[in-house]
Structure 1
Amino acid sequence: MKLTFDQVARRAKKLVRDGDVSQAVTLYQEFIDAFPKNGRARKALAELTSNGEKSPRSLQQRLDEVVSLYQKGQVQQSYVKASALIEESAELALAWNIRGASAFRMGMLEIAENSLRKAIDLKPDFSGALSNLGTLYFHQGKMDAACEILAEAIKVNPNDAEAYNTLGGVLYKLGRLDAAEKYFVQAVKANPKYAEAYNNLGTVLFDRGRLPAAQQGFAFAAKMKANYWSALSQKLYIQAILCDWAGIDEFERSADRIGIQGQAIEPFTMLSYEDDPKHQMHRSQAYARTNFHKPPQPVFGKPREKTAKLKIGYFSADFHNHATVSLMMGLFKHHDRSRFEIHAFSYGQVQQGQTRDRLSGLVDSFENVFGVSDEEMVERARQKDLDIAIELKGYTRQGRTAVFAYKLAPIQMNYVGYPGTLGTDFIDYVVADEVVIPKEYKDYYTEKVIYLPDSYQPNDNCREIADTVTTRADFGLPEDGFVFCCFNGNYKITPREFDIWMRLLNKVEGSVLWLFHSNDWAVKNLRGEAMARGVDPDRLVFAQRLREKEHLARHKHADLFLDTFNVNAHTTASDALWAGLPVITKPGKQFAARVAASLLHAVGMTELVAKSDEDYESIALDLALNPEKLAKVRRKLSDNRSTHPLFDSERYTRHLEAAYTRAYDLYREGKAAEDIQVK
């Protein structure tokens, strides 16, 4: 049965919307061959092929070019060319889709949404456009809308790997890990070479504690895509957590490229692999450029008069029973409420607990912003009219540094949570001291530096140590042998310090090494490494997690705390010192490698700050073999705990408040941020 021209025209228009211009041309040509005198058909064919090029496939070729540009990452060119095609033919659904996807990647979110909606209007079963719109909604934090549109994309195309992957991402953000895992699995089934889906599967498996499986997921992702640094970095990070040191050689082959050239990575993952503040800065800068698309900035009018109370906003996912808040409770308790108005913004999953309840009573307002979009969090923060916004998480898990790109306050600070620079242009200051950021390394921090006079780290001098009646045997320790201790996360341990520790065990008869039990795989690997160094693996004793006050109490059964190098003991060092346990450290170059030295300076125990690896080993051996020397050190620490600045919470708070005031005064005077030295 022959088709009428109107039927042919309808089919041709649908083919054009679907991006198949060449088939539309063929359809018109076949009709003209059958009805050579039909003027309407000849006119339609002429309009379809008269785009300034000689070839009748010119429009198809131009569509193919736009798609190719987008796939190659040349999004500005693809946006311009897609827009030009739309000017000529507004019914090209594929061009609208590419325009929308390109606009999204360029940060033009309104144009992106309108373009993708137009593509779907023209072609309701366009799974690619549905998937892209779902991704846009996910980026905007519109989780319900994202779920709905992505489910529609999968219904239209059950093999849409990208839709499965993005929907998995939405469910992951909502904390529905089981469902997220299933969708990531569906994504890799639909596309067995889908590197990003393997990467996301690794992420959800990591969060579910299935570490070897997560490592395998990241390994697959890195294998599927050359120079997929983010997947490789996560694989290496898990290997560090597992104390699988085979990852060290793999890291060293790409140390000057991973997260520095090409694709950005999460900077935290590489802290334990390398003590290099310059490389860490470059990783942070690359991460910031990739992840923080700067939205329109508010105009903060310069205040004419000094405000009666500075409004300080602290932002964290850890306002519950967490190490960071444990350190900060003294600060919150001692804030001068006659001069400062304190607001806490909690975006963590933990919604209750004794510490949270106590904290909420120490601030002027406690905002629960868990699960809200970036835009809503920004709006709620701006309603407080903050003078200073404090980022307490940085590039650690659950961090939401992206909200600071919106400018929550005219002054923004990086404080406590992340031991290094954030590498952004919207964080003005980093809180530090002259030990963690000495002048020779200051150029590796994009923020201006606030130098506190003692240590940058806050402490609470009211932390309770349980009055327990326990013995060493209760923890699997020998009653008489010397107990070396390191309660740091196992990921911080590298062969460099482990070699020293094993030599110490061999030189100190009957001694043991008391470590924190991070996971069973790390226990197995560390015991294997001990055996390889000629040490009975049973001389490694592992401590389980306890409540804070009981954890502090068990320090009395250890003799000496041995620090790790690239990433020091942070809270764990403060724990030990507060509990009266001496800490030996060897400072490195980057912030993370100098924290314990900062704490020891502030508590007046600089004799425990080694000058080299050899010195570190020598100090530890000397104290282990000479009980009278160790006893003298312990007595000094006991005295200094109450006489030196480290645990003087009120003194610390006054110094930090002086820094806040100085930063605000500079802003009020119309001056740019500058280094601040608190005396």
Structure 2
Amino acid sequence: MATNFHRSGQLEHAETLYRGILDAQPQHAQANYGLGRLAVRAGRASEALPHFVAALRAQPDNPNYQLGCIDALMQADQLDAARDLLESALQDGLQGELAQALARQLEVRTRIARSIRDTQAPAGVPPAPRVQAAPSDFSRTAQPSARELGQLTTCFAQKRYEKVKALARSLTRRFPRHPAAWKVLGVAICAEGDPRGALQPFETAARLLPQDAEAQFNLGLTLATVGRQDEAEATLRRVLEIDPMHVKAHCTLGWMLQGQARLFEAELHCRRALEIDPSYVEAHLELGGVLKNMRRLAEAEAQYRTALDIRPANTVGHNQLGLLLLEQDRSAEAEAAFRRGVAANPALGYLFANLGTSLSAQGRQSEAEACFRRALQIQPDEANSHSALLFSLTHGQALDADTVFAEHRRFGERFETPLRASWRPHDRSREPERALQIGFVSGDLYNHAVASFLEPVLEHLAAAPALVLHAYSTRRAAEDHVSQRLRGQLKHWHTVGGVGDVELAEKIRADGIDILIDLSGHTADNRLPVFARRPAPVQVTWMGYPGTTGLESMDYYLADRFILPPGRFDGQFTEKLAYLPANAPFRPSAEAPPVNDLPALRAGHLTFGSFNRLHKISREVVALWSRLLRAVPTSRMLLAGLPRHGEYEALIGWFDGEGIERSRLDFHQRGAMPHYLGLHHRVDVCLDTFPYNGATTSLHALWMGVPTLTLAGTTMAGRAGVSVLGHVGLDEFVVQDASAFEAQGASLAQRLPELAQLRASLRGRLAGSAIGQPPLIAAALERALRTMWRRWCAGLPAASFDASRDPGGCA
């Protein structure tokens, strides 16, 4: 039982049982060995030794006991005893990788001990830089006194980092070839959150101790932290050459390789770490992340739960589990996980932000907003939390358009204004007609709605001789079939999910990008802080987010005249508006079944429908829909695209509060595309959400012959329905207030033949509209990009213009 607790990471229970066994049987071999391992793990090697000795007395030929005792002797710096025991065990037949690794470690430790004892730099160390010091400081016997090293250690243990740095710097000046002070100086600087500042001390320590695994690991971890990935990988692999059993090096390599989307290699290193130490929580969490990005979600969940079994108060584990559940539309379970994380540590802003996201996914926008604001109180410089707040506000009912815009401007003030002084001129050639390097930055270059809109355009842009296309994929997860198709359309593909903002901005600048296009806005995996550094001469946002970024460095926003009529919404954008024939193209699914006859003609009643995600459906939306259902008492409503785990009890409660019986409602979980589209065969008219309309859902509905009744909003998020319906000439399905929504919807029940005729025509209307013609939009986009570039070459500021009519004119 004690061993089982030990293997599962329940170390306190294991220790209690081990000690209970030894109270009854003091020479019990397995209990002594187990207690010895626990003591070594806790850094108490001297305390472990008597237990290993007792285990060996009972079973002198047991290889595990031999290896455990040798390791403890080394940790306790009893190197001669460790060597004697190792030699004896090898003569008795001890073999295997662990024995070889311990032998290598012992050799390295012995060399280091001798070099320190002799106060000479290890072989191959270049001369130290000259410093002002007394000649005696460079003598063969010069080294810090025991009192000085003790004072350094004491201050470090007390976390008096300023004092530690002062003492360590003094020692490095006086004894530049003594590695201990360099090591401690680096750790103290890191502890204060300055990994870049720690690089030089760690580099010096690693140079002085080329065979010391910990010195090399400190350097490797710091290089990875600051984004110097190639150097970090080489250094960490050097650690594993020195010590193949270095758990942290395996785990750190797993983390770093995951950031580079080298997921299979990352999995191997994480699993190796767990083979060495099954109770190492960080390795379980890192492996959980790798598996998540490989879409092996059940395995990932099991790893997170194992980590939480080992360490129940682990906030990272609760957070990662919550994010995994959220990704699977298990938002109520995710909420519970985030709340457990908040309870464990209420000082972490990102936990409140993720809790807010789980609430927003359930349509509880006011609660979500409160969580996001709490997150920003704790961490005001966390850009992701601010973006999450802004995205939530686009779904909420409480704030007017001007207030929402002001909140977006605050994002720019917080994250862009401090950077403006560091903006550098661009040395790009100002030739207005030359070939342009175009970069797309997005976290949605996979099976996602944004990719479905982008792909038909890329097919045409890729053939344009005057454009060279780059993609910067900011998502950490493994690529899917859509990603692979997109790769084929782009000359350059960069996976940058694990690259920091500063490094990514410099990469984009080094790649010579002329026009950089954001496809995310304030949605997940956005890199707006990169745009705030202005790495490209011209910067554009498009498609991914229905509103301004709030950045002055973002020059243009691409839209169409239906969603943002010229002159009416300019005041809600920091960007200038550039108009295309349509905001984005729509390519219908090849799996779409044929359009059927109007269901109401057969059923004898009207069926309203909604295919929008749950986070767009609020209590206020349900109240308006219910007004229409009460006005047409024989009607029913089908709600599809809902979470697969049945988390829509709140919806039922909201309808019930409006007097709509459960028997009139038909719920369907999200499913495969043929099933999803086939459900439209049961729907006569779709009802839109507000203040955040549907877009992709309304387009799919039109292709299946189903019009959408929409309430026009005062922000871009509330005008997607206006755009979609405007392009196909369905202005009568656009209403301006709740009363008109009810009246227009009720009138449709009396116009079934007309509705049936319309149903049969919608595919043709959509295919013939600008939305249905990707080549038209691609050509206009190319004209728009050229117009933007010409203005920059001429030294002109950004200005709104219409690329669908006049390539060079300003609106």
Query: Residue 636 and residue 267 in structure 1: after superposition, are their counterparts in 2 closer, same or farther (change >3 A)?
Result: same
**Of 508, 513, 519, which residue of structure 2 is paired with 1:386?**
513
* Counterpart code for 1:498: V
Matches of residues 137-156 of structure 1 in structure 2 within 5 Å? 137=224, 140=227, 142=229, 145=236, 149=248
| Rounded Cα–Cα distance in structure 2 between residues aligned with 1:637 and 1:568 | 20
| Rounded Cα–Cα distance in structure 2 between residues aligned with 1:531 and 1:507 | 16
| Rounded Cα–Cα distance in structure 1 between residues aligned with 2:251 and 2:484 | 43
- Indicate the SS of the match to 1:232: helix
* Counterpart code for 2:169: E
**Of 551, 564, 586, which residue of structure 2 is paired with 1:459?**
586
| Rounded Cα–Cα distance in structure 2 between residues aligned with 1:599 and 1:546 | 24
**Of 188, 191, 196, which residue of structure 2 is paired with 1:98?**
188
Higher relative contact order, chain-length normalized (CA < 8 Å, sep 6+): 1
Per-residue deviation, residues 151-209 of structure 1 (Å, max 9, x unmatched): 58999999987787678667766777677656755765676555444323322343466
Query: Residue 452 and residue 88 in structure 1: after superposition, are their counterparts in 2 closer, same or farther (change >3 A)?
Result: same
* Counterpart code for 2:357: Y
**Of 595, 614, 618, which residue of structure 2 is paired with 1:494?**
618
Per-residue deviation, residues 3-35 of structure 1 (Å, max 9, x unmatched): xxxxxxx9xx99xxxxxxxxxxxxxxxxxxxxx
How many residue pairs were aligned?
A: 608
**Of 414, 432, 439, which residue of structure 2 is paired with 1:306?**
432
* Counterpart code for 2:585: P
| Rounded Cα–Cα distance in structure 1 between residues aligned with 2:677 and 2:720 | 19
Structure 1 window deviating more from structure 2 (211-220 vs 326-335): it is: 326-335
| Rounded Cα–Cα distance in structure 2 between residues aligned with 1:423 and 1:63 | 45
| Rounded Cα–Cα distance in structure 1 between residues aligned with 2:216 and 2:334 | 31
Would you say 1:270 and 2:270 are equivalent positions? Answer: no
* Counterpart code for 1:597: V
Query: Aligned-residue CA RMSD in angstroms?
Result: 5.1
2:124 aligned partner:
none
**Of 609, 623, 646, which residue of structure 1 is paired with 2:748?**
623
* CA shift for structure 1 position 508: 1.9
1:575 aligned partner:
700
Per-residue deviation, residues 106-163 of structure 1 (Å, max 9, x unmatched): xxx54333445668889x9999996897476256384964996455899999998778
2:199 aligned partner:
113
| Rounded Cα–Cα distance in structure 2 between residues aligned with 1:319 and 1:360 | 9
2:733 aligned partner:
608
* Counterpart code for 2:367: E
Structure 1 window deviating more from structure 2 (177-186 vs 480-489): it is: 177-186
C-alpha contact (below 8 Å) 2:576/2:799 kept by paired residues: yes
| Rounded Cα–Cα distance in structure 2 between residues aligned with 1:185 and 1:150 | 23
Per-residue deviation, residues 312-337 of structure 1 (Å, max 9, x unmatched): 23344544544223323442344472
Query: Residue 173 and residue 593 in structure 1: after superposition, are their counterparts in 2 closer, same or farther (change >3 A)?
Result: same
**Of 396, 411, 429, which residue of structure 1 is paired with 2:523?**
396
* CA shift for structure 1 position 660: 0.9
Would you say 1:235 and 2:359 are equivalent positions? Answer: no
* CA shift for structure 1 position 667: 2.0
- Indicate the SS of the match to 1:451: strand
2:336 aligned partner:
216
The sequence identity of aligned pairs, in percent, is 24
Would you say 1:536 and 2:661 are equivalent positions? Answer: yes
Matches of residues 523-562 of structure 1 in structure 2 within 5 Å? 523-543=648-668, 545=670, 548=673, 551-552=676-677, 555-562=680-687
**Of 250, 263, 283, which residue of structure 1 is paired with 2:367?**
250
Query: Residue 352 and residue 219 in structure 1: after superposition, are their counterparts in 2 closer, same or farther (change >3 A)?
Result: closer
- Indicate the SS of the match to 2:711: coil
* CA shift for structure 1 position 220: 1.7
| Rounded Cα–Cα distance in structure 2 between residues aligned with 1:202 and 1:371 | 20
Would you say 1:332 and 2:419 are equivalent positions? Answer: no
| Rounded Cα–Cα distance in structure 2 between residues aligned with 1:185 and 1:546 | 27
* Counterpart code for 1:303: S
Structure 2: stretches of 5+ with no match in the other structure: 1-112, 118-140, 173-179, 238-245, 253-272, 806-811
2:39 aligned partner:
none
C-alpha contact (below 8 Å) 2:595/2:681 kept by paired residues: no
**Of 542, 548, 555, which residue of structure 2 is paired with 1:415?**
542
* Counterpart code for 2:795: G
* CA shift for structure 1 position 288: 5.3
* CA shift for structure 1 position 231: 2.2
* Counterpart code for 1:600: L
- Indicate the SS of the match to 1:598: helix
* CA shift for structure 1 position 497: 0.9
Structure 1 window deviating more from structure 2 (575-584 vs 176-185): it is: 176-185
Structure 1 window deviating more from structure 2 (226-235 vs 394-403): it is: 394-403
* CA shift for structure 1 position 221: 2.3
* CA shift for structure 1 position 563: 0.8
C-alpha contact (below 8 Å) 2:436/2:466 kept by paired residues: yes
Query: Residue 300 and residue 149 in structure 1: after superposition, are their counterparts in 2 closer, same or farther (change >3 A)?
Result: farther
Query: Residue 280 and residue 636 in structure 1: after superposition, are their counterparts in 2 closer, same or farther (change >3 A)?
Result: farther
* CA shift for structure 1 position 496: 0.5
Query: Residue 529 and residue 337 in structure 1: after superposition, are their counterparts in 2 closer, same or farther (change >3 A)?
Result: same
Structure 1: stretches of 5+ with no match in the other structure: 1-9, 15-39, 50-56, 68-77
| Rounded Cα–Cα distance in structure 1 between residues aligned with 2:510 and 2:427 | 15
* CA shift for structure 1 position 510: 3.3
Query: Residue 376 and residue 229 in structure 1: after superposition, are their counterparts in 2 closer, same or farther (change >3 A)?
Result: closer
| Rounded Cα–Cα distance in structure 2 between residues aligned with 1:441 and 1:358 | 36
- Indicate the SS of the match to 2:559: strand
1:37 aligned partner:
none
* Counterpart code for 2:170: E
* CA shift for structure 1 position 230: 3.2
Per-residue deviation, residues 250-274 of structure 1 (Å, max 9, x unmatched): 3465676664774441634625652
**Greater radius of gyration (CA):** 2
1:367 aligned partner:
493
| Rounded Cα–Cα distance in structure 2 between residues aligned with 1:196 and 1:286 | 30
Structure 1 window deviating more from structure 2 (633-642 vs 219-228): it is: 633-642
| Rounded Cα–Cα distance in structure 2 between residues aligned with 1:280 and 1:649 | 34
C-alpha contact (below 8 Å) 1:467/1:553 kept by paired residues: yes
1:26 aligned partner:
none
- Indicate the SS of the match to 1:504: helix
| Rounded Cα–Cα distance in structure 2 between residues aligned with 1:221 and 1:477 | 53
2:169 aligned partner:
87
C-alpha contact (below 8 Å) 1:527/1:538 kept by paired residues: no
| Rounded Cα–Cα distance in structure 1 between residues aligned with 2:169 and 2:278 | 33
| Rounded Cα–Cα distance in structure 1 between residues aligned with 2:680 and 2:196 | 57
Per-residue deviation, residues 387-415 of structure 1 (Å, max 9, x unmatched): 22322234434555566577664323222
| Rounded Cα–Cα distance in structure 2 between residues aligned with 1:190 and 1:504 | 53
* CA shift for structure 1 position 491: 1.7
* Counterpart code for 2:198: A
- Indicate the SS of the match to 2:608: strand
* CA shift for structure 1 position 516: 1.8
Query: Residue 259 and residue 603 in structure 1: after superposition, are their counterparts in 2 closer, same or farther (change >3 A)?
Result: farther
| Rounded Cα–Cα distance in structure 1 between residues aligned with 2:669 and 2:145 | 77
Structure 1 window deviating more from structure 2 (417-426 vs 626-635): it is: 626-635
C-alpha contact (below 8 Å) 2:322/2:333 kept by paired residues: yes
| Rounded Cα–Cα distance in structure 2 between residues aligned with 1:477 and 1:229 | 54
| Rounded Cα–Cα distance in structure 1 between residues aligned with 2:372 and 2:714 | 16
C-alpha contact (below 8 Å) 1:219/1:235 kept by paired residues: yes
| Rounded Cα–Cα distance in structure 1 between residues aligned with 2:307 and 2:412 | 31
**Of 409, 423, 429, which residue of structure 1 is paired with 2:556?**
429
* CA shift for structure 1 position 452: 0.9
* CA shift for structure 1 position 482: 1.0
